[in-house]
Structure formats: C-alpha cells, structure tokens
Structure 1
C-alpha cells in the first residue's frame, strides 16, 4: 500500500497532453479531489476518511507539496543511474534535505502499535497516532508511506518513464515493462517510427 500511495503522490505531477506539465495539487480544489481519489490507500496511513474532511486548506496543500518534492527527489535518486523524470531536473532538493524533510513530516504525530486479537481470529497490528488536526495527520501519513516505500525492496523496481513528454515514476511490474502505462509505450513507438522516417 505504501508504494501505491507514494506513487500516487508523485504522479500528481504529470504530462498535460500539450507538451507541458500539469500539477494536480495546484490549488485547494485539486488537493480535495486527489484526497477523495486516494481514500483507500490514505485510510491506512491517515486513520480513516474522517481525517480527509477539513484537511484541504492552503497550509496543508503547501505541506503536501513539500512532502511530494522530497519524495520525487528521492525517487530521482532511486532510479540512478537512469535519468530522473524530466519534470524534476530543476526542482530537486539535495538527498539529505529530502530525507530530512520526509523524516520531519513523518514525525509530526507520534504513533504506537496496537494489537488486535479477536477470539477465533488472527492477531493484527495497527498503528495509532495521537489526536491531531487533519492536515498534520495527512502530511505525516503521506511522508510515512514514502519512507516505507523507499526503504522497501520495491524501491529497486522504481523507474522514470522514458516515453516522450511523460514525467511519471512507476514500479516495474514485470521484466519487459518499459513504460508507466500502455499509452506511453504507444507514444514512444510512434516517436521512434517518426524519427526513423524523417531521418531518411
């Protein structure tokens, strides 16, 4: 689940379809839409849908953008020696700054493990944080998801999509996967075909 949420956050910067870059979190309405789209993965890290109500204000948006910038910086480090996403070339933090920013955000709310063991059931562990306002819980949850993903073996499968104009990162699901989604593969093949025919 951490990979899904970390990638979803990083993917709020995307190709806009016109050769530029779009930012899905460029205003409070965009953050609100994204929070509702990510309800399920956020539930594990933030503590329920009720946290999302009232989470979207300008300060929270700025805090989420800071976590995203740190996450994308460390994604760029993780895909080395390959190139980072084209959208990140001028906006990366230094790796120590990015690590510090994620750790600081993840620590906004102390958490503790809570064991649940129903009769005739299997024990499970959940993590519960102290009561805090929604924005802090959201920021801490997003940072924790990024930290968990970056510390997991899945980090080794992280790639920057090489398709023309794409600025997304993705986890390589199988050995032959080259792009984040099929439409990027189609765009790359068309671009190669065009280059071959115009080079003649």
Structure 2
C-alpha cells in the first residue's frame, strides 16, 4: 500500500460514472483515519477532528497532481511543470526526524515533525508520489472505464487488478469470436 496511490484512487469509476470520495473535510478525515498506519507523522483522533476545508483543498490538489503526472508518465509524456511543482511544494512541507531518548537504559526513538499533523500527513502523500514517479512505479490502469492508479511492480503490468485484466481479455476474446463469426468462419 502506498499513500499516493491510495489518495489518487479516491477517484473511482462506478457503473460508468466517475465518483469522488473526497467531497468534504469529513471524507478526508475518514480516509486519513483508514491510512494513518502508513503515515510517519502520527495521526491521532484529535488531529483528525481538526481536518478542515484547507486540508481538503490541499489533499485534492495533491491528488490532481498525482493523477496528472501518472497519466503523463504512463503515456510516455513529460508531465506539466505546474503539476510537478505542485507535488514538490507539498512534499517540502513534511519535515520529520527521529529523536533518541532513553527509558532507563533502553533506547527509544520518537518521530518528531515540524509541520502541523494534518499538513505533515498530507505532505507525506506528496512525498510518496514523488518517490513512486521517480522510480517509475506509478501506473494508470489501461482497462476501458477504469480510472484507478496502481503500483507498477513489473514493466509489463497494464491493469490495476485482476478484474480489469480479466475484463479486457474477455472483451478481446469476444471480439475475436464475433469477427470470426461475421467472416463466416466456424466458431
């Protein structure tokens, strides 16, 4: 699981219509609550209660940049400079470090951050996207009607999951059979 892909995929296609799962600050808080275990910045319930329209706008802006960059890279095109800068600017807001402390003789590391919790958590998504794009691991699903992104874990991967891959293969098979039948061949 990657934060960038999870955020990008809050835009989904359902029954032919594109749905946005981040309409309100409460939607963003719920999403962050589901992915907080991926965040290096501690996202607790108190922090989630502070999510407002500014955080929603920031998350949606990052999501737009991630999707635009992934689409360009998947099409072997150079992403728009504005999208790259938007993502980089957001990633720069995630300063974090670890501090060493001791409980008696036991060393303990504590992650500290210089940004407000919500700003840091959202910026972390941007930092994840930067790393995925730079490594060539962010892909857009090639299945018709699908708008999801996926982790390109092998060079020939084209689909977000088995269901999209199966749907495309079944459609190809159906087209071959239909063309063979229309040409008068035995099916």
TM range (shorter): 0.7 to 0.9
| Higher RCO (C-alpha 8 Å, min separation 6) | 1
Quote the residue 2:31 is aligned against. Answer: 34
Q: Residues 67 and 102 of structure 1 are in contact (CA less than 8 Å); yes or no, is this contact kept in structure 2?
A: yes
Q: Which has the higher strand share?
A: 2
What does residue 74 of structure 2 align with? 79
Are 2:32 and 2:48, in contact at CA under 8 Å, matched by a contact in 1?
A: no
- Could you give the per-residue CA deviations for residues 25-54 of structure 1, whole angstroms, max 9, x where no partner exists? 123332232112212112x1x333356422
**C-alpha distance 166-103 of structure 1, shift in aligned 2 (>3 A):** same
- Measure how far apart 1:184 and its partner are: 0.8
Unmatched segments (≥5 aa) in structure 1: 83-93
Higher gyration radius (CA): 2
Hey, what does 1:67 align to over in structure 2? 62
Q: Whole-Å Cα distance in 1 between the matches of residues 96 and 38 of structure 2? A: 19
Asked if 1:166 is matched to 2:146, the reply is: yes
Q: CA deviation at 1:176?
A: 5.8
> Partner residue of 1:90?
none
What TM-score results when the alignment is normalised by the length of structure 1? 0.73
Q: Which ranges of structure 2 fall in alignment gaps of 5 or more residues?
A: 183-187
Normalised by the length of structure 2, the TM-score is 0.77
Q: 1:180: which partner in 2?
A: 160
What are the superposed Cα offsets for residues 78-101 of structure 1, whole Å, 9 maximum, x if unpaired? 22328xxxxxxxxxxx62111221
Q: For residues 52 and 180 of structure 1, do their structure 2 counterparts lie closer, same or farther at Cα, with a shift above 3 Å needed?
A: farther
- What is the CA-CA distance between 1:165 and the residue it aligns to? 1.0
Give the match for residue 128 of structure 1: 112
2:122 corresponds to which residue? 139
**1:10–1:182 Cα change, 3 Å:** same
* Per-residue CA distance 1:117-154 (angstroms, 9 max, x = gap): 87687x97x7632252x432333222222223333x3x
Contact 2:93 2:115 (C-alpha < 8 Å) held by counterparts: no
- Alpha-carbon distance in structure 1 between the residues aligned to 2:97 and 2:48: 25
What is the CA RMSD across the aligned residues, in angstroms?
A: 2.9
The number of aligned residues is 177
